[in-house]
Amino acid sequence: MLYNQIYNLDQVAFALEGLKDAQKTMAAMKAANKDLKGTMKTVKLEDIDSMQDEVIDLMDVSNEIQETLGRSYNIPDDIDEEELMGELDALEADMDFESNSVPSYLQPDKESNLDSELHQLVMQPPHQTGSSAGG
């Protein structure tokens, strides 16, 4: 019998604890509901739709600007990359043939030959250099 009484008291305590938890939950839900209602007064669906429409319009304008800036002039849209590479290879082959694989800016200048000029200066007789230095 004592066990039944203890069991009954435990059941009442458990029920009371459940009710207190329910009260806390209800209070939290009421506070959240109140906050949501207050926030919903400041946010309007029409404003969100209008803002999204503006963003879409701005993105369209931005895309048009990017397309305009990226436009290629006098270049056809149907360029064949393999054909271009073939032309580039042919140009390179022509350049190699004309200059024997040495670019023109690296080829020796035919008008001035520094080695021969140096050789001439060294081979001059001393009296020619002495007369100009002593005069």
Q: What is the pLDDT of residues 22-45, one digit of tens each?
A: 999 999 999 999 999 998 888 888
pLDDT at site 28: 97
CA distance 129 to 124: 7
Mean pLDDT value across residues 73-83: 76
Reading the block at residue 59, the tokens are 């993105």
pLDDT at site 109: 65
Q: Which of these ranges, 19-28, 48-57, 81-90, has the smallest mean pLDDT? A: 81-90
Most confident of 1-5, 53-57, 98-102: 53-57
pLDDT at site 135: 46
**Which amino acid is residue 71, in one-letter code?**
R
Half-sphere exposure (CA, 13 Å, Cβ side) for 111? Answer: 0
Give 30's DSSP letter: H
